[in-house]
Amino acid sequence: MTETTGPEPGRQVSYLEEPLKDLAQWTRYFLEAEIPVLAETAAVLEEYREKEDEVDAGMLADLIDTDPFFTMKVLAYVSARRRNQEVTQTETVISSLVMMGVAPFFRNFGPQHTVQDQLASQPAALELVLALIKRARRAAHFATGFAVHRGDTDVAVIRQAAFLHDFAEMLMCCYAPAMEVEIRAMQHANPTLRTASLQRFVFNIDLNDLRQALMLRWGFSELLVRISDGKHPEHPMVRNVLLAVRLARHTEKGWDNPALPDDFEDIAKLLNASTRVTRGFVYKIDQTS
């Protein structure tokens, strides 16, 4: 591990330069790591702290739900506090905040270290993680639209699963930036290379396995963990998440990706609609984002 001095006085920002041995080591590393949040999230949080009496759980949820890093931190914190207790699992940010309470939230979540500070010396990795977050927000938006159309009763959890789908890659950007940038360089040199294969080659693990391992160790709700597991794509809720993530990835740079016809066909099957109707529906969802 290489340590470089970060922009905050006295803070050491650590980056991994070599992959860890296996999934267990990667999981342990991130369980002990300080997870940063977006700078804009941290700034608004401090504004809210100044007027705590005027802030409610809904306001906090609206803020946290735009930031996958803070979403993870809140869900993990509440899950750890309710572990071994006979209480209902919290599946969303708003339910977590209601369970915790506004005053305890501010006591337990002080000023936050930010992604921008963490990656101040790594502009290429910062650009990558911000692009991943933008894509995650679009995936969450598509997932919500699909779930509402299907009449699903767990829309909020489906949205959250899509939003957090790539959070392991986001963490790699923050703590192993050189390796993450290396993957993107290899893809740029050879666009036919699959992201998952490159990640296994560089990190020694499948990042989807890391996501699931962290969710389990953090104690995320059984439903959220289950529908985040892409190894069971036959389940409609899992398909909802996977197709939303896939669509967001394929339309990241526009609507001319050659994979989109297959995406529309698969989404049409999920929604039990024609491909033509589905295409129009997807465009409409995108325009309301």
pTM (2 d.p.)? 0.92
**pLDDT value of position 11:** 64
**pLDDT value of position 89:** 58
- 3-state DSSP helix/strand/coil percent for the chain, to nearest 5? 65, 5, 30
Tens-digit pLDDT profile for the chain (289 aa)?
Answer: 333 333 454 467 889 999 999 999 999 999 999 999 999 999 999 999 999 999 999 999 999 999 999 999 999 998 887 754 544 555 789 988 998 999 999 999 999 999 999 999 999 999 999 999 999 999 999 999 999 999 999 999 999 999 999 999 999 999 999 999 999 999 889 988 888 899 999 999 999 999 999 999 999 999 999 999 988 888 999 999 999 999 999 999 999 999 999 999 999 999 999 999 999 999 999 998 7
Number of domain units in the chain: 2
Residue range of the domain that includes 212:
119-287
Burial of 37 (C-beta count, 10 Å sphere; 0-12/13-18/19+): buried
Coil, strand or helix at 219: coil
Left (φ > 0), alpha (ψ -120 to 50) or beta: where does 12 sit? beta
User: Do 88 and 161 belong together in one domain?
Assistant: no
Residue type, 273: A
Domain limit, last residue, from 60, 89, 115: 115
User: Do 91 and 189 belong together in one domain?
Assistant: no
